[in-house]
Structure formats: C-alpha cells, structure tokens
Chain A
C-alpha cells in the first residue's frame, strides 16, 4: 500500500515539558521517510481526534503514529478502521514518567521510541478482511445432564445442534439416579429428578439432531468448518459443525481399590452410586447379603477422595449426596439409623441450609472422623474403625451396611474427539486428567480453539451445576462462531484480524512451528510442510518465534519488523559511555506492569528500550543476534510465569522463550560475549513495583562487564 504517514505528538501530561518535541518531530519526519508531523496539547481530546479524521479524509493520510500515552489508554479515542495503519508510541508512561525531564538520555530514549514507531508502521500492511462461512451448528459429545443442557441451551440461542451419545439412550448417570438434593430454595426438600423431561425436550426439538449408539470416528477442519464423522450402527455420517462441546462426564472412582474399606470383602459395603441406583429403582434399601432392611447404615465420606493414594482432590458433591441419601433412607425406613463419618462437611454457600436441615433429623448422626477400615464380623455385622473423632481418639462402630462416598473421575482419557490434528487427537489434559485451562480467570479456555469442555469432565460438580456449566460452554461455542465468521481471533486477542502467513517456498520442514504452537493450529502434509488453519489460531506469534527460516509473519507483526526496529535504535559509540539495552516484554502482563510502575512514578534506567511482543513466545532468536551485533550491551526478555501455575495467556510462551534462549550460547561465543548479557525473567504483573529495580540491577551488572565490543562494526 502507498503510505501517507503522519506522526501526531501529544504535548500534554508533561510530555511537552520534559522533552524537546520539535526535535522529536525532526526524527519522525526523517524515519518515516517523508511523513509529516502534528502536535497537540491534548491529543486524546475531541478537537485533536477531529484533526486526525480531517487529515485522513481530506489529505489521504492512511498511516498514523500516535506519540502520546500508553497503548492501553484511550483505545476508544485512537480506534481506527482496519484500512488505517496505526501505531502507538508511549512517550508518557515509558519515557517521561520514568525518566528525568529535559535530560539528554531521556530525549534519546524518546527519539528511539519514535524511530521504532515509524519503523513499525512502515513495515506494516493493512489487514485484508477475511470472512468465513461458518456452520451455525454446535456438536455436543455426550448425552448426560451436561450434554442435554448444552443442546437445549444452544438451540435456544438459535444454533442447530448435533448430539452424539455413545449409549442407546440419553440421560447419562442421572437417568439411573433418584431424587436430587436441592440447589435452590427451599433448601429443606429433595427435588424430583427431571431428567426424563430434559430428554424429552431434546428429542422433540427439531433443531437438535441426536445420534445414539454413536461415537466420533474423526474430526477434521477448524472452528466454523469442522467435519465430524459420526459412526452409529455401522454407518458413517459426516456433519459440518462450527464448534464443539465435550460433555463426556465422569466415572465413579474404582471402588475395587478400596478393599481396606470393605469393598469387595463384604457384599454389604456398597458405593454411593450403587445405593443411589437401588433407591432410584425401588425407593427402598435392602441389605445385599440378605435383602433385609438395615437397622444401621454408616456412610464413609471421602472414600478414596482427598487421598494421595487414590483421588487427591475432592469431588465436591459427595457430602450433599450423602445427606440426600440419608434423608431418602430415613423417609423410606423411619426405623433405620444413619451415621455419617466425615473429614470436613462440605456444603458451601446456601447448601449449608440443607446441611442444617439434615442435622435436624434425629435419626441422622453426623460425626467428624477418619475411617481406617471396615471389617466383616462373624455375626454378619460390619465393624468400622474410626480415628480422630468426637467419640474419642479411636473407636469401632457396628453397622448393618456401609456406604462408601466415592468420588468422580473425568471421562477425559477415553478417545472422544479423534481430531486429525497434527498435535494429537484429544484436548490436552492437565492435572488429574482435567482438560487444561487457565482455570481461575478464564475457566472455559482450552488449548483447542472452538472446542470447549463442560460438566464433570471439566471438574466435579452436581447436576444443576452441570447445566449451568453447559450454558457457559455454549456461550463460548457461539462466540467462537461469531468471531470466526468475521475472521477475528477469540480470547485472549479477541477481535484481532491478523493471521500468520507462511512463505512456504523457503520452508525446511523442521516442524518447529507445528510442534510449538500450544493450540494445535498447524497440521502438516506428508513432507512435513505446515498447513495453516487460521480459524484455530490465537495470533500469539509463537510459530513466528519458533521459525529458524523466519518465513512466518503477520501483516502487522514480523521478524523483519522487530529486526528493523532494533536496527533503528541509535547506539552511541563506546567512548560516549552510554550503554544501550533492549527489553523484549510480554505486552499482556509486563507492558502494563511498566505502565503501573510509571503511574507510581518509579524511575527506570533511560538506557533501556522496551519492545512489546504479543507473547514472549514469539521471540525469534534472530532478534537477539541483531541486538548483539549492533552493539546493544544487554538484552532482557521479560514474560509471564511458567510451570504448573502458569500465568502465560498463551499457555507456554514464556516457557518456550526460555528454552530457545538456552540455545543462544553459540551466538554469544561467536560474538565473544558473556552469557550474563542476556537475561530471561519471569515476572508476575502484581509485582510491578519491583520490576524497575530488577531492570536497573541488570543494567548495572552488565555495565560492570564493560561495553559490548561489537559497537560500531
């Protein structure tokens, strides 16, 4: 595109007082290769915005550099249509708020940022609009409580639904269960199981197509354009679907591993699931060994849960299930006494009211303790050994029947999606086999765009919570289709229209891009050449950082662009004793951290130039090379925390950057440089107050090594 560049300088917020703006304008005119400049005392005000609009309309300006405040501020004012190329140069937070006013070093810092801003727009192209004809169809895998809810919710939101259930009927576990515990007021009464009504609603909905006795044979394609091959009764059908919800549910923990608690030893030791099915089928309880009504039933909570030898986690619902079953038993058999031995009674929120209700039943005795063992006695009774209880440090109780409150395991390890993705057929799993997500802030995010887990496969939850969870997953499924249809990215770069482009003539089939993409975006042909799937892409640029041939770029973000920005930095001669540092920073967490430090007027060495990256994982080794050859004295790479509790919004970006940097030794040896000149640092955004001191300490440490000997070459 023929660019008509204009650089707009704001002189407000102290910028005009601390910097020689006319001098910056000269730099801007030179670096932008003939672009013009304007200044305004309040560039974010309506008058200035009108000026910019006039320039665009009347003078054909199509490339705009806003040299003012952080790109995080006034995004509403500085929003332009995609046909206009825009860049923000942060003179406020990253220059005048963190450096000495009217100082040569501060001025040089601002000049370098202006140069880099000009390079960025000159190296950018407008993003070609892209639309996708998405299938407004949600594929739901699993026909239990979650899957039924997902289907109904998606239909009510205007989608069509393909529901695939592996068994011959819908309803899942809940179809085999009895009355439910209350999840809304009144918390004092059990609730009728409405699963058959839910099944009927799905079966009668002409927007929902149900496949029974069915499984997925394969899924290929990408969001908006998935082709799901469904196998049912020996027949294969291909359905074009837009997004996918995995609602494959749970399995009871394998009680045969709980011999210590009498399971498999005595017939009269049953699991909560077995008891539930008994209650649902007959409304009564019969002791398995003789069919008699038990006089005493003892529930063992956390049977194989919160136990590192079994399930280390808590299944969240077993406490309430036990209370419900206790009340159901008491209602069917008023003479039967129920005892519950628990570690901690977990009835959070309003469910506490249900707990109180159960406590009011004189036939239900609840006691804290740990059950060590359950033994069958000669008289046909069960003997339960308990420790740490209210009743004493160690007691034995006799019961006619014992119920083990076993937990839930996710059905995530079964072949489900059978994706034809190069990176594997299923959702990547995290701890305890739950599909990985950033489970605090963005619980629905998975590592496969357009595919969302819901219900007990995501985490243990009750039936009504499953239905609520399904609604959230459906929202994400609908949202993904909406974004994909207009060529836009989903979370976290929601709305980003750029996509990576591959100059495949120079591809060496090294496969690093396909292997490192955390989202499984790229497939491969038989030779190993990457096959992009733009609708799967989250636009983080990790592939771009991985590519040794530098053939992957975005219209507005590329290896060449950042390389040219580095080249534009003015590095003073060695004798001037003005070292230069580059800090590649994650724009999601570290860029705002520096803004926060700036707002608190923390000072940062003016020898450091920050270069924001979409993700630290998009760092290409070439940039380190470019920096060091140019005589930059030290390079920092600052990103988010990695590991089990990772904070990277692209899952693995900072981790991958760390791995790449561990291979930089060869470059350093060639340039005869010390490894201390490069630092990879993971910083939490909350620690913003400490970031300036860390940066300054690095600067000081590298200065002790002396200047980079490559200056001036």
Chain B
C-alpha cells in the first residue's frame, strides 16, 4: 500500500499531460519560426487590444448589472414572502434550460428594432438575461444559509427591510457575489453566437470571434495564428491562475450535492 501511495503522484502525471498537451502545443507552436516576433506581428497587424477591450467592457458591465438585479431578487426569494413566489422561481429554473441559440432568430429582430447592432448593449442585455437565472439560484441558496434573525434584530433597531438588506445581508454576500461574477464573466468572454451575429463592425468585435479574422489574414502563418490565440486567451487564463479556487468553486457550485 505504501508503494502505490508514493507512486501515484508520478502516475497521475500521465493523464495530466494528456490534458495539458494541446495547450502546451499551442504555446510552443506560437513561438516557431520567428519566436516572439510572431506576437509582435499579431499585435501590430491586428488590433487585438481593441477586441480585448470590447470583451472586457461587455463582460464587466454584464457582471455589474447581473449582481445589481439578482442580489436583491435572491434576498426577496429567500427572506421575504410574496404571492406567486414559487411559480416565479420555477419559471426562472425553466429559463435556465433554454439554449441561447434557439431564441437567436427573434433576438436578432429585437436587437435590430432597438437599433443596437454593433453596440455593446446588443450583447450586454441578452447576456444579463441569460446569466441571471443561475445567479439567482446561487444567490437564493446562499441567502437561505444566512439567518433571518439578522433582519429581525435590525428591524428592532429601526431598520427597514431594504436597509437591512443593504447594510447587513449584502456585505455578507461577498462570497456568492464573487462566484456569480466569475461564471458570468467567463460566459460573456467565451460567448460566440451572439457576438458573431451582433458585432460585425471590425472595431467592435469580441475576443471570441476575432480568430476568424486571424484565419483570413494568417492562414498560412500558423505560428502567428497561434500567437494571436494565446493573446486572446491570456486574460482569462491569468485570472484563472490567480483566482483558481474562486473559479473552480464558482463554476461547479450548484453541481456539488450530497
């Protein structure tokens, strides 16, 4: 038994390498032929920083709006009582199952009629709607874990429901807020379909669709293409390496039961 325990860390390197291989391949290939000159080439040829900015703006604003609308709602579902509560929550649960692409046709119509094509909000508004259900579910579960007595005590001290939410429950909701922020940010950054449909102007394109332009310009220059891919993937990758636990907890929360 002792032997296998010591051997295991070595053995487990094998599957890990399998998972790591494609990414390593990406890095290594991006340095072929001209090394870091590939990266300089991409940065000057294609204004990637513009795309990274766009994705960043959309993702950050979406996260802020999602937090702003789902935290009060989580509080209400958890700590307040109102008619239709259960049905409304059920509707939210069902909304989670709708694939974004299946409502793409009317979404295009709506965005066009609101004149939002090539506008950040053409993405922000749908993204908020799509990410809110799970944010609400996580938020409500979290709030359920916070004692209702806190509010009672606050009310005795003269607080209203709203102020007890604002000053007591909200500050306590930092853990779930970071979880919500992580997966909302990731979903926005990686989203492909709407980004492709609504952001067609070159200066407005997102990070998730930009490699299509790479392909056109650099079809024969694979190292440069890969350098471009590394550049657009880097922000999220760095965030992940810095905040590993929040990432993994945030993305798998809700799946971990019993």
Instruction: Please say whether chains A and B are actual partners in one complex.
Output: no
Q: Which chain A residues have a beta carbon within 8 Å of chain B's beta carbons?
A: none
Q: Which chain B residues have a beta carbon within 8 Å of chain A's beta carbons?
A: none
